[in-house]
Structure 1
């Protein structure tokens, strides 16, 4: 059988892995069907029908300039192969969407065709393996009482989700929830009842997080923290208002509370569009400031600090 270019293209198009070929300058010379199909259905990762106009290294450098360490690592590794510094390069990296967690393994290797030199970059989907690894790792990141993520998981997730939202120029919203006069509830009914109230609260808060870009965590004591990626403040406020209504409908008694005779919560909310200048510790501090304001203004309410321009945290 004669191995025509069309025959070879058909073989490459039958492969599930995303394949791209670049020249020594980094300009894309070829992509297979899987690459194009993935790019057409995903905005989060570089790909698409306009590949002929793209320089792969330039796209990695753009991601790196926005704080994406995987983009920086990819650019460095590819250049090392292009310059003959190493024969091959491998990199595992995440490429999550708002609705799905995904990971890929990148492999870069040289290709000699007649007198011309090219480089083949293959992206292999390793999501199934990474999800299994995450499941094991998650056991160390779960709060033993409530069964939801703990403070360690919150810190790691906030860092990763802010980086993703920064790359996509999308907002991220953060809320800190504190149960009002919870010590009085513990003192009145005992710690076993208090523990059950924490579990009930966690279950109600979990109803507000439904996507891979969302997280509800036990922040400490009777405090909880919520993260919503790619979510504007008004959307987050609607979810929190529904939580407060559900908590009120639960009628969990706290008879000695000066706020209400049942369990209530105060909430601090803030939102930003992250940039490389954004400080995640400051973001948490601002949500905490709004929580303090909610308590000062009578509790059982939400106080928020709005989204400003990208990277700004407005008063």
Structure 2
């Protein structure tokens, strides 16, 4: 008999306290090309499931100590992927037992005495459905990644930035912890494009994006392309001093790239300016506040000479800006 790749790869865990039934199931399934593992009770089934992560479980409903219903419930807790179907094998056909099997997480059931062609078809169908669901989930995750990634720079795009900013703003409001934002802008980028062409401009943005990404280390921080030659960095649980330090490091990292820019008005290389804002969000407030503050700080960094970061701090009714010129311009 010819076996399919599906059957050759699939592992079936057989759980039954009767050795003869386990042997029958094993021989029937192995004849179909499946790999099998066996457990004689619920506790052994839990241990084997944790170790081998089978593709499907054939579970006897009536077993001593831990019956199939309790075992099924516990198997659901162990199934990190949530894709492993459980097929209950039972001699009980009353409505209550059938309902209970589905309530504890069984996907389907067969009754004893087993009708072997029916069992083989149900096993095949359940494995196919499980694998199809896994592929669909992978495809959905990839699709979600694609719609939130900037195609040119391969960092988060504006859409992802706004989603994450709103999410972290709300979370920091609940926890009453600071959220910091850095807005960066490549200095004289239009002049760079005019001088070197748009293909070189694209490569420049890719290098700058990587330099920023390499500077921001924590998993909770997000680097995004905000638009055109602008980039944004979201820093949850970060106070102003820490955010300013990161902004200075970002400016230094881009400066260190030494990308030639003969028409820059402040030197011979590509540089960036950065604006930093930090707030402890208040409940029911809008995250647009911190974007506006960082944007004002970025504007002040440009006015002050570019290639530097500036921090926005609100004091009473008048904002105060702390300029941090680069070593080149100090």
User: Aligned residue for 2:159?
Assistant: 152
Measure how far apart 1:261 and its partner are. 1.0
The yes-or-no answer on 1:279 pairing with 2:273 is no
Matches within 5 A, 1:231-246: 231-246=238-253
* 8 A Cα contact 1:233 1:307, kept in partner: no
The yes-or-no answer on 1:139 pairing with 2:140 is no
**Equivalent-residue separation in structure 2 for 1:159 and 1:167 (angstroms):** 13
The yes-or-no answer on 1:170 pairing with 2:177 is yes
Name the SS for the 2:215 alignment partner: coil
Cα deviation, 1:168-221, whole Å, max 9, x if unaligned, reads 221110011000001111111111111100000000111233334211111111
The yes-or-no answer on 1:182 pairing with 2:199 is no
Q: TM-score, normalised to structure 1's length?
A: 0.56
**Taking structure 1 as reference, are residues 280 and 308 closer, same or farther at Cα in structure 2, changes over 3 Å only?**
farther
Determine which of 268, 274, 284 is the counterpart of 1:267.
274
The yes-or-no answer on 1:302 pairing with 2:309 is yes
The yes-or-no answer on 1:225 pairing with 2:225 is no
Determine which of 188, 192, 197 is the counterpart of 2:199.
192
User: Aligned residue for 1:203?
Assistant: 210
Measure how far apart 1:133 and its partner are. 4.6
Measure how far apart 1:158 and its partner are. 0.3
* 8 A Cα contact 1:186 1:194, kept in partner: yes
**Equivalent-residue separation in structure 2 for 1:151 and 1:287 (angstroms):** 16
**Equivalent-residue separation in structure 2 for 1:168 and 1:134 (angstroms):** 29
Cα deviation, 1:113-139, whole Å, max 9, x if unaligned, reads xxxxxxxxxxxxxxxx98985443121
* 8 A Cα contact 2:212 2:254, kept in partner: no
* 8 A Cα contact 1:272 1:307, kept in partner: no
User: Aligned residue for 2:118?
Assistant: none
**Equivalent-residue separation in structure 2 for 1:226 and 1:306 (angstroms):** 18
Cα deviation, 1:79-133, whole Å, max 9, x if unaligned, reads xxxxxxxxxxxxxxxxxxxxxxxxxxxxxxxxxxxxxxxxxxxxxxxxxx98985
Name the SS for the 1:219 alignment partner: strand
**Taking structure 1 as reference, are residues 187 and 242 closer, same or farther at Cα in structure 2, changes over 3 Å only?**
same
Q: Which has the larger Rg?
A: 2
Cα deviation, 1:213-245, whole Å, max 9, x if unaligned, reads 211111111111110111112112212211211
**Equivalent-residue separation in structure 1 for 2:303 and 2:310 (angstroms):** 10
Cα deviation, 1:30-74, whole Å, max 9, x if unaligned, reads xxxxxxxxxxxxxxxxxxxxxxxxxxxxxxxxxxxxxxxxxxxxx
Matches within 5 A, 1:57-68: none
Unaligned runs of 5+ in 2: 1-64, 66-70, 78-135, 321-330
**Equivalent-residue separation in structure 1 for 2:156 and 2:239 (angstroms):** 23
Aligned residues: 199
Matches within 5 A, 1:97-108: none
Runs ≥4 residues deviating over 6 A? 129-132
**Equivalent-residue separation in structure 2 for 1:130 and 1:275 (angstroms):** 36
**Equivalent-residue separation in structure 2 for 1:169 and 1:296 (angstroms):** 33
The yes-or-no answer on 1:256 pairing with 2:263 is yes
Cα deviation, 1:268-305, whole Å, max 9, x if unaligned, reads 11001112143211211111111110001111111111
Q: TM-score, normalised to structure 2's length?
A: 0.53
Unaligned runs of 5+ in 1: 4-10, 18-128
Name the SS for the 2:311 alignment partner: strand
Q: Work out which structure has the larger RCO, using CA pairs closer than 8 Å and 6 or more positions apart in sequence.
A: 1
